Amino acid sequence: MKANLFESDGPYVVTSHVNPDGDAIGSVLAVYHFLIARGSTVSIFLPSPCPRNLQWLPGSEHIAVWNNTDDEKRVVANSAVIVVLDLNSLNRLESLGASIQESGATIVNIDHHMHPETFAHVQINDESAPSTTYMLADLLDFAGSDNQSAIATCLYVGLMTDTGSFRFPRTDASVMRLAADLIESGADPVKCYEMIFNVESINRTRMLGQALASMQLYHNGKLCVMTLTNDDLIKHQCTLEDTEGFVHHTLSVLGVQMGVLLIEVQGTIKCSFRSKGDVYVRDLAAKYGGGGHVYAAGARIPKTLSEVVDLVVSEASTLV
pLDDT at 3: 47
Q: DSSP label at 44? A: E
Alpha-carbon distance 215 to 207, whole Å?
Answer: 13
Number of structural domains (the chain) is 2
Q: Is 291 exposed, middle or buried (0-12, 13-18, 19+ CB in 10 A)?
A: buried
DSSP assignment of 47-97: SSPPPGGGTTSTTGGGEEE----HHHHHHHHT-SEEEEES-S-GGGGTHHH
- Count of residues for the chain? 320
Residue 52 located in a structural domain: yes
Per the domain annotation, does 6 fall within a domain?
no
Query: What is the CATH classification number for the domain harbouring 275?
Result: 3.10.310.30
Which pLDDT does position 1 carry in this prediction?
46
In terms of domains, do 51 and 127 share one?
yes
d(CA 282, CA 319): 11
Q: What is the CATH number of the domain that holds 24?
A: 3.90.1640.10
Give yes or no: residues 178 and 306 share one domain: no
- pLDDT at position 2: 54
pLDDT in tens, the chain (320 residues): 454 789 898 899 999 998 899 999 999 999 999 999 999 999 999 999 999 999 999 999 999 999 999 999 999 999 999 999 999 999 889 999 999 999 999 999 999 998 889 999 999 999 999 999 999 999 999 999 999 999 999 999 999 999 999 998 889 999 999 999 999 999 999 999 999 999 889 999 999 999 999 999 999 999 999 999 999 999 999 998 899 889 999 999 999 999 999 999 988 999 999 999 999 998 999 899 888 888 999 999 999 999 999 999 999 999 99
